[in-house]
Amino acid sequence: MTATPVTHPARKRLLLIATGVFIVLAILYAIWWALFGSHVESTDDAYVHGNLVQITPQVPGTVIAIEAGDTEHVKAGQALIRLDPSDANVALQQAEAQLAQTVRQVRTLYVQNDSLAADVNVQHANIERAQADLKRAQSDLQRRQVLAKSGGVSGEELLHAQTELKSAQAGLAQARATLAAAQARLATNQALTRGTTVANHPDVQQAAAKLRDAWLAHSRTVLPAPVDGLIARRSVQVGQRVAPGSTLMNVVPLDQVWVEANFKEGQLRRMHPGQAVTLISDLYGSDVTYHGKIVGLDAGTGSAFSLLPAQNATGNWIKIVQRVPVRVELDPKELQAHPLRVGLSMEVEVDVSQSGAPLAEVPARQEPAWSTQAFSGTQADADALIAKIIKANLQS
């Protein structure tokens, strides 16, 4: 006797419904992938990066004041650290005195030009007088020689006339030598002042350069903040003797941070600078979305630039997918509304459907990426002091 199979219509219906649902989900996923998913590359291996502007002294000194500490916000140009200015003050005063003395000495050279020129004129007059004395002596000697033939003068008078002639010749030679010496002194003095004024004379310029150097050393006893930002990693203490180049603290400009997203090498095929990027920070969660763009791809993988690069020429080599840092620039307005901190984690999605700009066509930068004006006023102040000293010593 054969058993009749039992059918379960409800079970069959559920299987058909489940199969249909899976098919619909697969179709929807395929549509989503074709329209959106295939155009996006994402990673959660991304972190916020920023500049760590080091505050380092340019001159040695002892710290006498610290104007800002960790986590404090500072403005560009604000004094952060003060060094003992005693030695710099002495050096600056010496340089000021040396410049004033040099201006007076050089001013004397220009005054001497007139006196030396007058002396040359005097020596010309002396030569004319000596030539007249020589002619008179020659005439007296000739007259006495004629009279001596007739016995009109004695031999003693003739000898006296000859002596007068030799004296006049010697006087003329001495006057010419004196004139040559005066002309040489005038030529030397004119050579020292030709084509220059007191203000641009080489000696004055040299003294002015020494004053600028002393002024710079004095101004560098105050260490300003190069940029706006937060103080971080302060290591300096009051009373500490610091040397040029030692890092005393850092200033982190949080308005200039960027994101480095580490994408797998297979994800880079369609990535180019200029493509749009959306980002979510773990700090704010999905409630805050950042927007930015790719500004460049690093020159190598992270392992290539590590302290100990991988050595793959071994017998037990295993291939590991490499990651390349991609730099993402954030929207400044969004960054200002929701500040980030260096090192925070980010989730990054890149819209690779956009063409972007090929790496070879990215234009070279025409302006500095970052700059500061915190140190620009020093030179102008030094020039103003130099001009003041020169003017004061020219009029005295």
Question: Using one digit for the tens of pLDDT, what is the confidence trace for 50-105?
Answer: 999 999 999 999 999 999 999 999 999 999 999 999 999 999 999 999 999 988 88
**Is residue 221 scored above 60 in pLDDT?**
yes
What residue ranges do the domains of the chain occupy?
Answer: 40-51+253-308+318-361, 53-87+220-252, 88-216
Topology of domain 88-216, CATH: Helix Hairpins (1.10.287)
Phi-psi region of 77 (alpha: psi -120 to 50; beta: other; left: phi over 0): left
Distance CA(231)–CA(124), nearest Å, equals 77
What is the separation of C-alpha 326 from the centre of its chain, rounded to a whole number of angstroms? Answer: 30
Percent of the chain past pLDDT 70, that is, above it, reads 81
How many CA within 13 A on the CB side of residue 289? 6
Residue 23, pLDDT > 60, answer: yes
pLDDT at residue 242 greater than cutoff 90: yes
Residues listed for the chain = 396
The residue that leads in pLDDT, 340 or 33, is 340
pLDDT tens digits for range 126-138: 777 777 777 777 7
More confident residue, 87 or 35: 87
Q: Are 374 and 55 in contact (CB under 8 A)?
A: no
* Three-class HEC string of 277-342: EEEEECCCHHHCEEEEEEEEECCCCCCCCCCCCCCCCCCCCCCCCCEEEEEEEECHHHHHHCCCCC
Residue entry with tokens 């100990």: 308
| Alpha-carbon torsion (156, 161, 165, 168), positive or negative | positive
CB 272 within 8 A of CB 357: yes
Mean pLDDT of 334-343: 93
How far is it, in rounded angstroms, from Cα 25 to Cα 17?
Answer: 12
pLDDT in tens, 243-255: 999 999 999 999 9
**394: confidence class by pLDDT, cuts 50, 70, 90:** confident
Does the pLDDT at position 344 exceed 90? yes
pTM exceeds 0.75, yes or no: no
CB burial of residue 243 (10 Å; 0-12, 13-18, 19+): exposed
Compute and round to an integer the Cα radius of gyration of the chain.
46
Class of the CATH-defined domain 53-87+220-252 = mainly beta
> Judging by beta carbons within 10 Å of its beta carbon (0-12, 13-18, 19+), is residue 276 exposed, middle or buried?
middle
AA letter at 134:
L
d(CA 340, CA 344): 7
Superfamily of domain 40-51+253-308+318-361: Efflux pump adaptor protein, beta barrel domain (2.40.30.170)
Instruction: For residues 289-303, give the mean pLDDT.
Output: 89
